[in-house]
Amino acid sequence: PTHTLAYITHIHIHVVRAFNVKMAEYKVHRIRYFNYVPEAINSIAFDDRADKIAVSRAGGSIEIWDIKHDWFQEKILPGSDHRSVEDVAWCGDRLFSAGMNGDISEYDLDRCQVKHSADSYGGAVWSIKVNNSRTHLAAGCEDGCIRLYNLSEDNITFERSFDKVDGEKHFISIIESVKDYFRLFRIYI
């Protein structure tokens, strides 16, 4: 559904005549309407150290919200037609995403663009999680494998792949980080 939102501004105008000291005040009322079409949310990630939330939308954009100071939207990382964002994960002040294009990306939050990207080597990525010590990222891929990546300060590097279950073709991997271990769940569809 489309919703109509309006921005309303009030402007006060003070008029002073050159030789007359008499002042007049006028109020100008201006309204601008636009159609707001909300996009579906694909995933939400919470950064407990900075009290921020990353929200990935169906159009591929990612919104960064500050929840410490009255829930305001800090910035939007723009999406594109060729990149989907199925899951997002924080690693300290670093933000990672993964999607149907098979890439795992880290973002430069100052420039609002992709900083580093690594191939998943397994097709679409449905789920990513960072371990508690913030050294590794696990990715659940469409080919049936769960892959582990090392998170250095400057890059994302593939470390190893966990075996897949033979004979199963379509599944979704869900990864949960507990202490320094990952719990791996596979849901077959």
What one-character-per-residue DSSP string does 80-149 give?
Answer: BTTB---EEEEETTEEEEE-TTSEEEEEETTTTEEEEEEE-SSS-EEEEEE-TTSSEEEEEETTS-EEEE
pLDDT digits (tens, 9 = 90+) for 88-112: 999 989 999 999 999 999 999 999 9
* pTM score above 0.75: no
Predicted local distance difference test score (pLDDT) of residue 21: 52
Question: For 43-86, how does the pLDDT look when each residue is reduced to its tens digit (9 = 90+)?
Answer: 999 988 888 999 999 989 999 999 887 888 999 999 887 888 99
Question: What does each C-alpha distance from 74 to 64, 107, 144, 156, 160 come to in angstroms?
Answer: 6, 15, 36, 25, 35
pLDDT for res 48? 82
